[in-house]
Structures are given as C-alpha cells and as structure tokens.
Amino acid sequence: MPELTVESFLDLLLDNQTAGGRLATTAAIAVVGVMVSELVGRLLARRTDDVYSRYYARKLTRYAVAVLVLVALAVLWRAFAGRVGVVLGLATAGLAFAMQEVVGAIAGWFNIVSGRIFRVGDRIQMGGVRGDVIDITPLRTKVMEIGGPGPGDGWVKGRQYTGRLVAISNKATFTEPVFNYSSAFEFIWEELTVPVAHRDDWQTAENILGEEARRVSDSDAARKAITEMARRYPVPRAEVEPRVFVQATDNYMELSARFVVPVRTARTAKDELTRRVVQRLADAGIEIASATEEVTVRRADEDGPDRNERPPTAT
C-alpha cells in the first residue's frame, strides 16, 4: 500500500480526472464549506446584539455556502458537461415559475406608486384586511389592522385598532379591489337605524333623530372636500346633509338617520349619537321597538290566578 504523504494528497486533490481524485476534492470542498459557514456566521453574529439578527445571519450564511458548494461539486463532477443550454433553460424556467409571486409584487408596487392607489397614512382595505398603511416596500404593504362591523371581521368592532401588523403582497392590487377610505375624501357616510312601534309617535322620533344627526354631522367640511375632489375627478354632486329615512315594516316603523363624519371618528360620533337619541326618546315616552315577545309569568295563589298577572305583550 503506497504511503500517503502531503505531496501525494495534494496531487490527489488536483487530480480531477480519476474517481479517487474527485472524491478527495469533494471531501475537501465539503470540509472547507463547513468551516467557512461557521466562521462567517460567527463574524456576522458578533456585529449585532439582536438575537434574531444573529439567528438569521447564520441561516443566510449556511444557505449561501451550501449553494456555492453544490455549484462547485457540479463543476467538479461535470454534471452539466455538454448540456449547458438545457440546464440554463430549465433553470430559467424554474426561476421564472418560482419568482412569479415576487415579480407580481414588484409590478404591484409600481402600480401603487404610479397609479397613486394609496400612500403611507391612508386607511385602506386590501386583500381582505382593513387598516392604516404604515409602510410600502417593493414586495409588501404593511398595515396596522382595524376591526370591522361584521361578525367575521375580528374581535374588535367599529374600525378600531386590533394591535396586529399585517403584511400584504402588493400583487393584491391586481387580483382584488383596493378600498381607500382617506385618499381624496376623508369622510364616510354612517347610518343609525332606530325601530319605533306603530302605536308610538314616530314623527317625534323622526325629529329627534334628525336633530341629533345634524349635530354630529360634519357636512360643511365634507362639502368642501367634495368641491376640492371635483377639481381632480369628474365626480357627481353628493348629498352630505343629514337625512332621516322612514320605512314601514310588519313589526315597527324603521327610522334610519344618514349622516357624514370623518373616517377616523366614525365610531365616536355614532356612539355619541346613539346615546343622545336613546335618552331623548325615553324622555319623550317613545320606546325602541323589537320583533321579539316579552312574556311575564306569575304564580297563582290559593284563591285563583293572580290579579296582577299581565297578559303577554308584543313590542
């Protein structure tokens, strides 16, 4: 058995024609790759005190070294010899397929910037998420999430912050509608619906609802905003004055007050309006109706039914 010396080992490493030489070179590349990965990872980790930054620096270094080792081994074993064109074609096709989401996100970023769909600070709904935009990158838009009025809109109701930051791919600007609540017109129309029994004075309830709606409505500012928006867009004239709409149903008279308020104070304005309307209706002796039944049951005494028993009532 021939003696293995440093010179013979170096000759073996440089011998890329025989299987033994290639195996020795493969082992050397693997060892060097592990050493470089650990060394570079530690050097990068020392440059930061953040635990997460150190973790991601080491992971990124390992991935990069692994790719370089694979490329070196492919060259060593001539895996692509005579098939460079085919390999490049397959690699290009695979890369295009894998990067389609990234390409779509970058195109969406150009769409956001050039089309002025929204900007940082706007309140939007995109990709099924509502919130205020806090950052726009070439790949994602970061939103401070808010709740919604629906049952499936999260645990926070009334368009208040939930505390979650949501990252949405910019590609969503092409695949779904984007709602902007505050770009050119920072107001929304709100409605408060109050049912009143047919037997009650619903005309008085209508007056109360109209007075309170006019008190919380920001019609003057909304009218100026519409005039300003009309200079940029051919928008029709919108009605911003508060109104009360009346609809008769089988159970009650339905009164709906429609009014305009700033988008970020909608819940506060509606809360204030509801409290005042309920109090004023109670002072006027007008009850808020319901389609449910209220039944009162009392025990009968020994002499017969309780004289104070009230029959079932429907409101």
Choose which CATH entry (2.40.40.20, 3.40.50.2000, 3.30.420.40, 2.30.30.60) describes domain 102-180.
Answer: 2.30.30.60
Please identify, in words, the CATH class of the domain defined by 187-283.
Answer: alpha beta
pLDDT given for residue 101 in this prediction:
87
Task: Identify the sign of the CA torsion 145, 150, 153, 155.
Answer: positive
Cβ contact 37:61 at 8 Å: yes
Judge whether 205 and 285 are in contact, CB under 8 Å: no
**Distant-in-sequence, close-in-space partners of 226: CB < 8 Å, separation ≥ 6:** 185, 235, 237, 238, 240
Considering Cα of 10, then 16, then 18, then 20, what sign does the dihedral take?
Answer: positive
Question: What is residue 242's predicted lDDT score, i.e. its pLDDT?
Answer: 92
pLDDT score for 6: 52
pLDDT at residue 31, rounded to an integer: 86
What's the pTM value of the predicted model, to 2 decimals? Answer: 0.64
The 3-state DSSP composition of the chain as helix, strand, coil percent (nearest 5) reads: 45, 20, 35
Cα–Cα distance, 261 to 191 (Å, whole number): 10
Tell me the domain boundaries of the chain.
6-80, 102-180, 187-283
d(CA 291, CA 250): 9
Each residue's pLDDT tens digit, 74-129? 777 665 555 656 667 766 777 777 788 888 999 999 999 998 899 999 999 998 89
pLDDT at 267: 87
Q: pLDDT per position in the chain (315 positions), as tens?
A: 455 555 555 555 555 666 666 777 778 888 888 888 888 888 877 777 777 777 777 888 888 888 888 887 777 766 555 565 666 776 677 777 778 888 899 999 999 999 889 999 999 999 889 999 999 999 999 999 988 766 666 677 777 888 899 999 999 999 999 999 888 788 989 999 999 998 899 999 999 999 999 999 998 898 888 888 888 878 777 788 999 999 998 889 999 999 999 988 888 899 999 999 999 999 999 988 887 766 777 776 655 555 455 555 444
Sequence-distant (≥ 6) Cβ neighbours of residue 311 within 8 angstroms = none
Helices (H) and strands (E) in the chain, counts: 9, 10
